[in-house]
Amino acid sequence: MIRYIFTAALLVLIGFSGYQGYKLYLQKLSLEKDLAKVNNQLDGIYEENQKLVADLEYFKRPENLAKELKSRFNYVSPGEKLLIIPPKH
């Protein structure tokens, strides 16, 4: 009699442990998926940061900043003339 109770308790314990192990495995898969998503976002942010650093280095030079002002906003220095040629359609 005690042998059957012990065997049943052992089977219940093994089943419970297996179930908990399976739940942990599913949680691990979910966390790995989330980690991959975060790593992809981090890679994108790292690339964006590198571009911003490159732009910052470019615009640190006054001649580059003046060149961008002239090209984007049709800025002219005093005494300079500007000629705008519209594109052909």
pLDDT digits (tens, 9 = 90+) for 62-84: 999 888 888 888 778 888 887 77
Cα 35 to chain centroid distance, Å, stands at 11
Q: What angle do CA 43, 57, 63 make, to 5 degrees?
A: 145
CA-based max dimension of the chain: 108
* Cβ atoms of residues 82 and 74 within 8 Å: yes
CB 64 within 8 A of CB 58: yes
Angle, helix 2-60 to helix 62-73, in steps of 10 degrees: 90
Residue 47 is predicted with a pLDDT of 97
What are the tokens at 48? 């964006």
For position 8, what pLDDT does the model report? 93
Q: What is the pLDDT of residues 21-74, one digit of tens each?
A: 999 999 999 999 999 999 999 999 999 999 999 999 999 999 998 888 888 887
Contact yes or no for 84/74 (Cβ under 8 A): yes
pTM over 0.85: no
